[in-house]
Structure 1
Amino acid sequence: MTLSPSPAPSASGPRRPGRSGNSPAMDRGAWHRKASRPVQWWMLALIVVVLTHQWIPQSRWLMVHMVTLGLITTSIMVWGQHFAEALLKTRLGEESRPWQVRRILLLSAGVLVTILGMLPSWPWVVVLGALMVSAALVWYAISLGSQVRAALAPRFEFTVKAYIAAACLIPVGATLGAVMAFSPGEPWQGRLLLAHQLVNILGFVGVTVTGTLLTLWPTVLRTRIDLPAAKRAAHGLLGMLVSVLGATAGALLGSALLGCAFLIVYLGSFAWVAITLVKLGLNSARQERKVPLPLFPILSITSGVAWFALAVVGLLAMWWRSADEHLGTALVAADLQQLTVPFVAGFLLQVLFGAMSYLLPVTMRGGPRSTTAAHAAMSRFAVLRVVTYNLALALLVLAGFAGTGASALFSALSLGTTDIASFGSLSRVALSVLAFLVLLSFPVLLVIAIRASIRHRRTDLPMPSGPGAGPGTSLPVGPPAGAAARSAPTAAAPAAATGVTGTSGATGGPAARDRPAMRPGGMDRRALTSVLLGLGTVLGVTALGSALDRAQGSLPPDAGFGGHDPGAGPVAPTGRTTTIAVSMAGMRFHPDVLEVPAGDSLVIELRNDDPHDVHDLVLASGVSSGRLQPGAGTTVEAGVISHDLEGWCSIVGHRAMGMVLSLVATGADGTAAGTAPATGAGGVEELARVPLDLQAEPGNGHQVRDARLPAASGPDQRVRFEITDEAAEIAPGVVMDAMTYNGTVMGPILRSELGARLTVELFNAGAMGHSLDLHAGRVAPDEVMATIPPGDSLEYPITTDHAGIWLYHCATMPMSVHLAAGMAGALIVPPAGLAAVDREYVLVQSEHYLVPAGAPGSEATMHAGAHPVSPAKIAAERPDATVFNGHANQYVHSPLEARVGERVRLWVLAAGPSRGISFHVVGGVFDTVFKEGEYLLRPENENGGGAQALDLAAAQGGFVELVFDEPGTYTAVNHSFVDLERGARALIRVSR
């Protein structure tokens, strides 16, 4: 896979079918080397990205797709061809090898194009990459199909047919991914994401890997599988394929019931195959052999399959839990990030490395002695590596889940030495580095295996003989002809005890004729020592990480269950449990002070009784309820309470609105603990400015807003507003976690006429409750301005009876947070008799307050690389950016246009949430000023007066007119220069 050895010189003997008379024996090895080069490139690129991911945008997406598309899909194409020829007993002509390599290169190029399109958000480039990937996999499927048809007596063709069917799923998954690149909005973005994951992971990868294991697993175990049993087990592959299609339909339809039903069928089909694999393992365990089994492939593949089953069960539980929630499919698609590590690191990488550690020595073509030595080298420290890696993964995965079950299992796996509350960011980094180092051992051991293979070439082991060595009714499954086939003994090979570590013989070259039977007892002691060493390594790294977390201030000094170490301090656990019911409604916890006897375990029966808003509860100890939809409830186990503790709602702005909760440990002498620190783990203050580079051009993904006034809409207008959560750029390179109307910071510019009817259809596809307030309407706010929960909609009709530029915005508390997050816009109603002008533009000013990276709250971002809105900065009136039409300098690099002598009208609105504007055009004089429904200045007034600025408080608006006498570049600014320097600036380019 990674480093490919040079093949051994050709052994004497008859040529194989399909090989031309003058073809060298190394041609197949040369094909493996060339075909595996893209996998080597992806492996090296992945290592680079892992080491530099904190400086790469969308690094999580990038790493996942480098593994799934780069490593896994390319490896599947290489080894799918290898197994197809072995199982069908065919060998393609050497002239076909270059075309196979071109197919793999096409796949890698398609993956690269997809990545290059996704990172800067170029959807059409993503479409091109998806087409290239799909073309490569369809080409691969057609090639395998032709080989099946040409096979004379294919007995294991069901595996190859599974490859073909699974490959045909990739165009479906690629299409779903390409559509997502256009950001279709909720609920479709979530539905497409979930369907994309189902098709690619459970479909393409899951079916391919399961089909391969039906034939690879008995080869690794050096046992036999009956053909009828293999064919019966293969029925499960068909069930998995059908289930994936059904679950995908459930995802696209937003039906949790349909999706979960097919997931249950998928698990049953997988279990049907797994039963056969388990039986093969038991048969192998009963056999005796003198040449030890390669241990690492067995342990790694077994661990990977276990992670796959657990991850599918986790997906089923998440999807079922979302059945009654608004936008349930979108929510489960977001929650699936918690399963990224189990699927990618637990399942995909372990199965890939396990399979490669067995297959690569086989393809080195050095003879049985060489292959055995290479297998032994690849299995060095097998138990230690597998235990360390899987225990580290398990702790990392459990740390991402809330709840008593996860906490209890975390403590059990760590032998009670730590708990989730003590597992801070540095602990996660330390454990991730440990797991990464275990993965890096694979290429290192591969180099050692190549050297061992070369050292033992051309020295064959005597083939086993005995009753089981001859032909029979059961079928040995193994690699294709040649040295690869000779390297795997038959099931009846002379015995040695099973479970032997693969380290013996790594350098000395085991020989079957003089190796004594291995003693299981000695092996068990070595395995136990490796298990204990792996456990100690993980616990030691975790303890070191926790100590660093405390030293850096990223954990409370007495972090633990309930925010303390149960065994420390003057308060001893009482063994009693206090249960308190808490309701959430109206931006408050009811009750908001919980008195708990010190030493008692606290259980909070939490319920969201707010009719519109999503809420949660986060305790300073790290315990969290997760987000609760209106009407939902859960049980939060806070652990033993030894001192006062603070809790709050983490939904943006809710804590600032006073949604906090206090736990009072009665009878304790400790002071209040768990208050939010002023700085984060990186030592960054929340009120620190986010730096802006206002000389830089907007990012490639930013589309400049058209500032022209929309055309008249007629007497009856209907518009649709869809509320979504977006990662939106508000200044060059600065991205905000935005709440938007129709996907943009600052919603659409609307235009109506005096006396016209305007109806807004509002649909909430966001993650929390939202609303709409149209300042131009005279309506009772009770219904039309009500907060609607995710998934709900309402109609908001008004009559535009008064002229002006009117603000509209979200009226859900805290309004300042929702406005600062982008939920504001302008409705323009021109006054009666307004004269026509040559140019008419609209500039809406808004200010934005961001949490700096590394400050408290920065980890709450909904989108990778985006800054959440900072309620603390809003309260302190310390904006990071003040912008026109949603972006700090879009009209500096794309100026507004005018000509000398033209009359230009500029509509201006101060959307806030808090700051006004003194609007001025450098080099121009206003001869017309209209503010808040009345003219303050008209052309050719009797006083000969002009205006230099239009002063507007927050939520006020108007327009100015001017004529440019000379060509040049003029600057429209907020003459409150501190806001100008934060981005409230636009250029007007005047030509002749």
Structure 2
Amino acid sequence: MQLQPPQPNKPEPAGKKAEGTHPKHPADNLAAKPAPIALNSSPAGVHSLHPTPGKTAQVALSDVSLAARARWHSSLFVIIAVWVISAIAAWVARALGQPVSWWQAIHAVTLGAIATAIFGYITHFTEALTRQPPSGFRAIAARIALLQVGVMLLMVSSPASRWHLLEALGALLITVATLWQLWWVITRLRGSLAGRFASTVPMYIAALLALCIAITCVVCAGFGVGSFSGLIAAHGRAALWGFVAFTIYATVLTLLPTLSGTAISETARARILPALFLLSVCLLHIVWLLIFQLPRIAGVFGIGICVVGAWLLWPIVSNVIRQSSGLDSAPAGVVVALCSLLALQLFDATALILGRDPREVFQLIIPALLASVLLLVVLSVLQFLLPTMIGGGPQAVQQARRRAQRSGYARIALIIVGSLLALFQSPLWIVMVGLGVLWTLLALGLATMRQRKGLSHG
């Protein structure tokens, strides 16, 4: 494949301001650099920078093929699907009276499916937002492999109130993977070429730091350092309102307009850094107040997290709804998940203020949050992104997306109804959520199989 240098941009008349040029994704502007570049291929297939007098500058680019990218995202999808199915099986087994612990059922989703998805897509969106060339998949594959081994060790050990060597080793591997991912994001941000869109990347850094705090809390609880109940309550809020929520906030700013084919909200982009500061302050206060068993005051800061989150998300959602003639099920699923996130944050904060036990409240809302927020976001993104990564041309991608999103609203309704049943502690919730998830995975699997079949024949 021969790479052609981009043509120089034509000068704009003085004082003229471009309108209607908001990219659907920051990566779409990669070819819009003002200066021409020339690429010389090295024998290893990697383009290097060798300035020559009288010639144009040459830029270092890693040639990562679309086929390799498709294989990577397909593999990531398989890992996530396996963990989701394992979690459903664990919940069904618990409902039937089998000896499956609450720890195993919850962390099969949170650490197995959700953390794996977040690591993968933080990498994808960080590269796009910072306009950095692809770095290949070996490093992120190694980080996700560390994460998988750590989670499996925790699943085998199934810790209750006291930890031993196996639990400590699992937590250590997850911590190493998290710190490695954190360092990778920081180095990409430092070399960023796009300050306008890279302003969302610090939210990913804060999310990974929140995961480190959550791990620290649970390790301290496992080894008897401090109040077990308070540390576990703080662990849950740092993981969900920090690691998960911060990742969602950073991603939807560009992801939701991409899914819906609308412009990025400049209002939300301007709010991202102030919102990050306020959210971080509220989260840190929630963590230390719960550790020292002051849940009522922690609930006040929980209200703050909900208010700041709504302040940040409102221009994104309203902009998408206003500009779209009709939402497909993928962007609609993300909008529903955002509304569910804010509702559950408000529920948690109100319960803490009213004096409910923090651990009981967390155990009450966690199944609903896993289904209506985390699974719904991941499944909605996969319906849009996986056909894109497989490729085959715009027509093939669009057809695969349409196939994957058929009956999408019915699947969303199943998951939301299941979430409400979980909040009211009905055992039927796992049936509704399981049907919605399996239906979505089946639709996506069939759509991508037909897309790959078309590629092989083409």
Same fold (TM over 0.5): yes
Q: Secondary structure in 2 aligned to 1:90?
A: coil
Tell me, yes or no, if structure 1 residue 384 matches structure 2 residue 410. yes
Residue identity opposite 2:141 in structure 1? V
Equivalent residue, structure 1, for 2:346: 313
Question: Does structure 2 conserve the Cα–Cα contact (< 8 Å) formed by 1:117 and 1:124?
Answer: no
Equivalent residue, structure 2, for 1:42: 83
Deviation at 1:26, TM superposition (A): 2.2
Q: 1:268 aligns with which of 298, 307, 310?
A: 307
Tell me, yes or no, if structure 1 residue 434 matches structure 2 residue 436. no
Residue identity opposite 1:310 in structure 2? A
When residues 154 and 447 of structure 1 are mapped into structure 2, their CA distance, relative to the original with a 3 A threshold, is same
Higher mean Cα deviation, 50-59 or 370-379? 50-59
Aligned equivalents of 1:232 and 1:240: distance in 2? 12
Equivalent residue, structure 2, for 1:69: 111
Aligned residues: 405
1:335-360 per-residue CA deviation (whole Å, 9 max, x = no partner) reads 32211222111211111111221211
Equivalent residue, structure 2, for 1:247: 286
When residues 332 and 352 of structure 1 are mapped into structure 2, their CA distance, relative to the original with a 3 A threshold, is same
When residues 153 and 306 of structure 1 are mapped into structure 2, their CA distance, relative to the original with a 3 A threshold, is closer
Deviation at 1:394, TM superposition (A): 1.7
Question: Does structure 2 conserve the Cα–Cα contact (< 8 Å) formed by 1:308 and 1:342?
Answer: no
Tell me, yes or no, if structure 1 residue 105 matches structure 2 residue 145. yes
Equivalent residue, structure 1, for 2:380: 354
Structure 2 counterparts to residues 779-858 of structure 1, below 5 A: none
Q: Secondary structure in 1 aligned to 2:200?
A: helix
Tell me, yes or no, if structure 1 residue 78 matches structure 2 residue 123. no
Residue identity opposite 1:397 in structure 2? L
Equivalent residue, structure 1, for 2:329: 296
Question: Does structure 2 conserve the Cα–Cα contact (< 8 Å) formed by 1:183 and 1:189?
Answer: yes
Question: Does structure 2 conserve the Cα–Cα contact (< 8 Å) formed by 1:308 and 1:343?
Answer: yes
Q: Secondary structure in 2 aligned to 1:223?
A: coil
Tell me, yes or no, if structure 1 residue 118 matches structure 2 residue 158. yes
Equivalent residue, structure 2, for 1:449: 447
Tell me, yes or no, if structure 1 residue 236 matches structure 2 residue 275. yes
Equivalent residue, structure 1, for 2:258: 219
Aligned equivalents of 2:225 and 2:268: distance in 1? 47
Tell me, yes or no, if structure 1 residue 59 matches structure 2 residue 85. no
Question: Does structure 1 conserve the Cα–Cα contact (< 8 Å) formed by 2:114 and 2:374?
Answer: yes
Aligned equivalents of 1:174 and 1:165: distance in 2? 14
Higher helix share: 2
1:536-592 per-residue CA deviation (whole Å, 9 max, x = no partner) reads xxxxxxxxxxxxxxxxxxxxxxxxxxxxxxxxxxxxxxxxxxxxxxxxxxxxxxxxx
1:743-786 per-residue CA deviation (whole Å, 9 max, x = no partner) reads xxxxxxxxxxxxxxxxxxxxxxxxxxxxxxxxxxxxxxxxxxxx
Aligned equivalents of 1:392 and 1:30: distance in 2? 33
Question: Does structure 1 conserve the Cα–Cα contact (< 8 Å) formed by 2:126 and 2:185?
Answer: yes
Question: Does structure 2 conserve the Cα–Cα contact (< 8 Å) formed by 1:369 and 1:456?
Answer: no
Tell me, yes or no, if structure 1 residue 140 matches structure 2 residue 181. yes
Deviation at 1:152, TM superposition (A): 2.3
Deviation at 1:31, TM superposition (A): 3.1
When residues 319 and 369 of structure 1 are mapped into structure 2, their CA distance, relative to the original with a 3 A threshold, is same
Q: Secondary structure in 1 aligned to 2:245?
A: helix
Aligned equivalents of 1:378 and 1:49: distance in 2? 26
When residues 105 and 282 of structure 1 are mapped into structure 2, their CA distance, relative to the original with a 3 A threshold, is same
1:214-256 per-residue CA deviation (whole Å, 9 max, x = no partner) reads 1101111111125464122442233222211111111112223
Deviation at 1:100, TM superposition (A): 1.7
Deviation at 1:305, TM superposition (A): 1.6
Question: Does structure 1 conserve the Cα–Cα contact (< 8 Å) formed by 2:66 and 2:391?
Answer: no
Deviation at 1:279, TM superposition (A): 2.3
Q: Work out which of the two has the higher radius of gyration on C-alpha atoms and give 1 or 2.
A: 1
1:651-709 per-residue CA deviation (whole Å, 9 max, x = no partner) reads xxxxxxxxxxxxxxxxxxxxxxxxxxxxxxxxxxxxxxxxxxxxxxxxxxxxxxxxxxx
When residues 134 and 20 of structure 1 are mapped into structure 2, their CA distance, relative to the original with a 3 A threshold, is same
When residues 437 and 36 of structure 1 are mapped into structure 2, their CA distance, relative to the original with a 3 A threshold, is closer
Q: 1:339 aligns with which of 356, 365, 371?
A: 365
Residue identity opposite 1:386 in structure 2? I
Residue identity opposite 2:421 in structure 1? L
Equivalent residue, structure 1, for 2:394: 368
Question: Does structure 2 conserve the Cα–Cα contact (< 8 Å) formed by 1:38 and 1:108?
Answer: no
Aligned equivalents of 1:455 and 1:284: distance in 2? 35
Deviation at 1:47, TM superposition (A): 4.1
Aligned equivalents of 1:336 and 1:229: distance in 2? 30
Deviation at 1:180, TM superposition (A): 2.3
Aligned equivalents of 1:230 and 1:374: distance in 2? 31
When residues 47 and 341 of structure 1 are mapped into structure 2, their CA distance, relative to the original with a 3 A threshold, is closer
Q: 2:211 aligns with which of 170, 174, 196?
A: 170
When residues 260 and 147 of structure 1 are mapped into structure 2, their CA distance, relative to the original with a 3 A threshold, is same
Structure 2 counterparts to residues 662-741 of structure 1, below 5 A: none
Deviation at 1:181, TM superposition (A): 2.3
Structure 2 counterparts to residues 576-975 of structure 1, below 5 A: none
Aligned equivalents of 2:375 and 2:419: distance in 1? 12
Unaligned runs of 5+ in 2: 6-30, 32-38, 48-62
Task: Report the TM-score when normalising by structure 1.
Answer: 0.39
Question: Does structure 1 conserve the Cα–Cα contact (< 8 Å) formed by 2:64 and 2:134?
Answer: no
Question: Does structure 1 conserve the Cα–Cα contact (< 8 Å) formed by 2:200 and 2:273?
Answer: yes
Deviation at 1:456, TM superposition (A): 5.6
Residue identity opposite 1:72 in structure 2? I
Question: Does structure 2 conserve the Cα–Cα contact (< 8 Å) formed by 1:57 and 1:119?
Answer: no
Tell me, yes or no, if structure 1 residue 131 matches structure 2 residue 172. yes
Question: Does structure 1 conserve the Cα–Cα contact (< 8 Å) formed by 2:371 and 2:415?
Answer: no
Q: 1:29 aligns with which of 47, 70, 89?
A: 70
Q: Secondary structure in 1 aligned to 2:133?
A: coil
Tell me, yes or no, if structure 1 residue 92 matches structure 2 residue 134. yes
Structure 2 counterparts to residues 497-576 of structure 1, below 5 A: none
Q: Secondary structure in 1 aligned to 2:271?
A: helix
Deviation at 1:126, TM superposition (A): 1.8
Deviation at 1:45, TM superposition (A): 2.8
Higher strand share: 1
When residues 27 and 59 of structure 1 are mapped into structure 2, their CA distance, relative to the original with a 3 A threshold, is same
Deviation at 1:198, TM superposition (A): 0.9
Aligned equivalents of 2:74 and 2:195: distance in 1? 27
Question: Does structure 1 conserve the Cα–Cα contact (< 8 Å) formed by 2:282 and 2:305?
Answer: yes
Aligned equivalents of 1:84 and 1:146: distance in 2? 11
Aligned equivalents of 1:450 and 1:63: distance in 2? 29
Residue identity opposite 2:138 in structure 1? P
Equivalent residue, structure 2, for 1:397: 423
Deviation at 1:51, TM superposition (A): 4.1
Compute the RMSD of aligned alpha carbons: 2.8
Q: Secondary structure in 1 aligned to 2:199?
A: helix
Deviation at 1:274, TM superposition (A): 1.5
Question: Does structure 2 conserve the Cα–Cα contact (< 8 Å) formed by 1:297 and 1:358?
Answer: yes
Question: Does structure 2 conserve the Cα–Cα contact (< 8 Å) formed by 1:373 and 1:452?
Answer: no
Deviation at 1:154, TM superposition (A): 3.3
Residue identity opposite 1:179 in structure 2? C
Question: Does structure 2 conserve the Cα–Cα contact (< 8 Å) formed by 1:389 and 1:435?
Answer: yes
1:446-470 per-residue CA deviation (whole Å, 9 max, x = no partner) reads 122113423665999xxxxxxxxxx
Higher mean Cα deviation, 371-380 or 66-75? 371-380
Residue identity opposite 2:341 in structure 1? F
